[in-house]
Amino acid sequence: MKNVILNNGVEMPILGFGVFQIPDEETQAAVEAALAAGYRHLDTAASYGNEAAVGAAIKASGIAREELFITTKLWIQHAPTGSVYDDSRRAFQNSLTRLGLDYLDLYLIHQPLGDYYSEWRAMQDLYKEGLTRAIGVSNFHQDRLVDLIHHNEIVPAVNQIETHPFHQRAADQELMREHGVQIESWGPFAEGKNNLFTDPVLSAIADAHGKSVAQVVLRWLIQRDIVVIPKSVRPERMAQNFDVFGFTLTEEQMNQITVLDTDASLFFDHRDPAMVSWLGARRYS
């Protein structure tokens, strides 16, 4: 497994297993299968509602804690239930309890909404106290990321954003590189949108290597030094997605994929007022 080195020296596996949209009742079995397939990097979130199932799978696996890299995410905290700082620390402890862990490897602000400055200051203190090995953000556009960096002590180690062949985020990645922030992809397969799995460019490259389109997409991201967390509930797909280190895309093939970029989200825009209102109204205990 290839690792990336975060800005604080922590090593993070470049390939992990995500559990977004896996129903809670199916999550434990899926994570157990992923761990059996070789995954050691797991990504969940409080808002997914399956942290406890992830924790149960970790416990059942018997794998030593230090061999695993576990990420979860902080949902938008809301005053006046108390201070956002205190609520953020409480939310962290609730996630840790559900996961059955003593510490996290990476804790992310899930959305760039609400008083995320207070959230970040709480996370900085959690990091200083050794309760998480790294802290970062998710879904932050370039302007909000730079503003957060300039007005706080600790630079986020990671920014997890929508990244796939149709929304490649090259400019975002370059800015993150300048500031020492690791880019991480969510939605690497675009949930099959734009007929990704039958796209002629990706299919031709897959045929040339005797691989699947999914494997080509993961290999493309990895060669761009982008951390990626594909999801599946099928063990054979998990194994296939894990088997992406035995081939290399040529420069020409990398360039062929570049032309697929539409430079637009296929899901939602965090700058859309309606989306901001919808996300901000969601509550998770």
CA dihedral 285, 130, 161, 77 (to 10 degrees): 30
Q: Can you read off the two tokens belonging to residue 139? A: 């879904």
**271 Cβ neighbours under 8 A, 6+ residues apart:** 141
β-strand 41-43 against 69-74: which pairing, if any?
parallel
Strand runs labelled E in 75-204: 106-109, 135-138, 158-162, 182-186
The pair of structure tokens assigned to 251 is 């420069």
* Contacting residues for 231 by C-beta, under 8 A, at least 6 apart: 17, 18, 19, 20, 21, 22
Radius of gyration of the chain (CA): 18
48 is catalytic: yes
Q: How far is CA 237 from CA 48, 74, 240, in A?
A: 21, 29, 5
Which of 39, 48, 116, 127 is the catalytic position?
48
40 near 17, Cβ under 8 Å? no
Q: Which residues are catalytic?
A: 48
